[in-house]
Structure 1
Amino acid sequence: MTNDWEPPEGSWASSAARRLNMQAIRSRDTKPERLIRRLVHASGLRYRVAARPLPDLRRTADLVFRPVKVAVFIDGCYWHGCPEHYVPPKTNPGYWSEKVARNMARDRDTDERLTEAGWLVLRFWEHQDSAACALSIVNTVRERRHALPG
């Protein structure tokens, strides 16, 4: 069987193998997300997964605690430009570096919009200790619960 696949002109996929590789990358339910969710759930907190904090905003947070307005994002080091671990790509660097820069700009915009709407945004890198991230989330949510009127 021959591989006659050709990327469309201007495509982000530099090869069929690269295209398959990129399509296989999970946008949700990554290992760090699942581990942090498991730890937060074990502490007794309940949350929405991959939900829009604001209905009008076409962006989802990894964990959403609606009553206390806390949105949690667990960012991948490559896709969100981690200052410690991001390595610019060797293949099609113009496209991918611009993509990561757009992701970072969208993250800042998301943070601003949620903050303006009264939400607290918590962001963690995928390489951070999951137990420490979960503890921070649990403590923050509990503090905000106690601060609610009523």
Structure 2
Amino acid sequence: MKKLLVLILVALPLMAASAHKYYFSVTQADYDVKSKSLKIVTRVFYDDLEKVFQERYDKSIKVDKTYDQEKLDAYIQKYFNSKFIVSINGKEQKLSYIGHKDEVDYVVCFVEVKNITNPQSIEIENTLLMDMFPDQKNVIHLQVGNTKKSYLLNKENDKAMLKLSE
């Protein structure tokens, strides 16, 4: 009986820890000198995005292939415009939403900032999903030429800044 009690006391916290859901997104942002644009690819878990959309916009939204893809793209674009801010040389830039594709567990979103000449600094503020999930972490990998830097953003620190003039 004692062994069973010890097993239960040890196993329950371990099972609870393994059942805990992690909240994170990954963004790759690369400056393309030829096209003078910052190409951004963000991966977000589809169920987290769906929950945010249902809470913010419409309970009937499904983030999958069964839902009207034009409407889904409009929601993704609207959400990115409010939660993903890019500034070049201290000036906020307009995002150009390109589209999305579905992967196994996540949605891949494609965004671009066009007409960038001589970037001295790039700042990305990424608060995707942070208002819904307090433990949300957003990873950003930023590359400009040979300069590469990675950032781990959270609710207290939601901005990544790469200064190229240093």
Higher strand share: 2
TM over 0.5: no
Q: TM-score, normalised by structure 1?
A: 0.30
Higher helix share: 1
